[in-house]
Structure 1
């Protein structure tokens, strides 16, 4: 019984944001690491961004902002995938404050540019559906899984058919094919 409590208490130990904010488990401080990679997910509100993030304008804006602010805040973006309604980013940062600044500025600049509200406050629904979801990726196997997951999302955005089994049902040969 004691072991079950600790397993459920630690399941969200390295995660923060997204729908976790609705439960008490996601309301602590955002766990960030300067040693381990971080899987970051921004989820956009479809009511505000009607054409989706894969439209040429929004896609170019998001990639330009990631490139600009990753250089400014010394955050290495290892891999990213922009979907129609969300963005996956695998990143590393040297300092917690730099990672926090990157999260804040990229989300804010995208929302301000999209809604053209640099000087005044905008009424209406928010551009982002949830707070950014972050998960510290601990260990090599979890790192490989995160990289494969982001790559699979990118391939699906480019036209690969969606599969319910996703990564769990893939053979080693299919995983190699994913990266070609």
Structure 2
């Protein structure tokens, strides 16, 4: 009797719109359950979303903000990841990063998320107590091309300015003129 060859399972068919995205709220559906796309040539937009019940004072509290910046600097240096832009909001963090190796990117945001959660919740003295720090797995999107890169870069800058006091508008980047876009970077 001849044994059948082992079946191979093809990857989930991902809609073309989400082929460079992974994690975040996409994990609730099959759209974000494939392999995390990472690129050593293209920049990566990362979003870490915090569970508000775990972080009472928000991420912009001076102690928490200093902790995030210290961990970003330490682990970007350790894993050879260049953080081009960062914006810390009250409940999420935007990062625009580049790295030369896929493994260094994976290690960077695995260790960054883990160390932040451990230090913030004081896991060393209280083992596994309290709510989870992260609401979702980190959202990542590979930025392919110069125009999408500019859009993400301006989006992160606009987020940072809104935290610092710029009024929020629904149209956000779509309604800005060229002069207003230049004002983002002044």
TM-score norm. by structure 2 comes to 0.91
Inter-partner Cα distance in structure 2 for 1:58 and 1:127: 13
TM-score norm. by structure 1 comes to 0.94
1:149 aligns with 2:155: yes
RMSD, aligned α-carbons: 1.1
| Residue-pair matches, total | 173
Inter-partner Cα distance in structure 1 for 2:100 and 2:124: 29
Which residue does the alignment assign to 1:50?
56
Any gaps of 5 or more consecutive residues in structure 1? Answer: 1-7
Which residue does the alignment assign to 2:66?
60
Which residue does the alignment assign to 1:3?
none
Inter-partner Cα distance in structure 2 for 1:52 and 1:122: 21
Inter-partner Cα distance in structure 2 for 1:154 and 1:115: 25
Q: Deviations over 1:153-180 (max 9, x none)?
A: 0000100000000000000000001111
Structure (1/2) with the larger helix percentage: 1
Q: Deviations over 1:47-96 (max 9, x none)?
A: 01010000000100001000000000000000000000000000001100
Any gaps of 5 or more consecutive residues in structure 2? Answer: 1-13
Inter-partner Cα distance in structure 1 for 2:95 and 2:18: 19
| 1:118 Cα offset (Å) | 2.7
Matches within 5 A, 1:92-131: 92-118=98-124, 121-131=127-137
Inter-partner Cα distance in structure 2 for 1:29 and 1:120: 33
Larger Rg: 2
Instruction: Kindly report structure 1 stretches of 4+ aligned residues shifted beyond 6 Å.
Output: none
Inter-partner Cα distance in structure 1 for 2:125 and 2:103: 26
Inter-partner Cα distance in structure 2 for 1:126 and 1:119: 16
Which residue does the alignment assign to 2:10?
none
1:81 aligns with 2:87: yes
| 1:9 Cα offset (Å) | 1.6
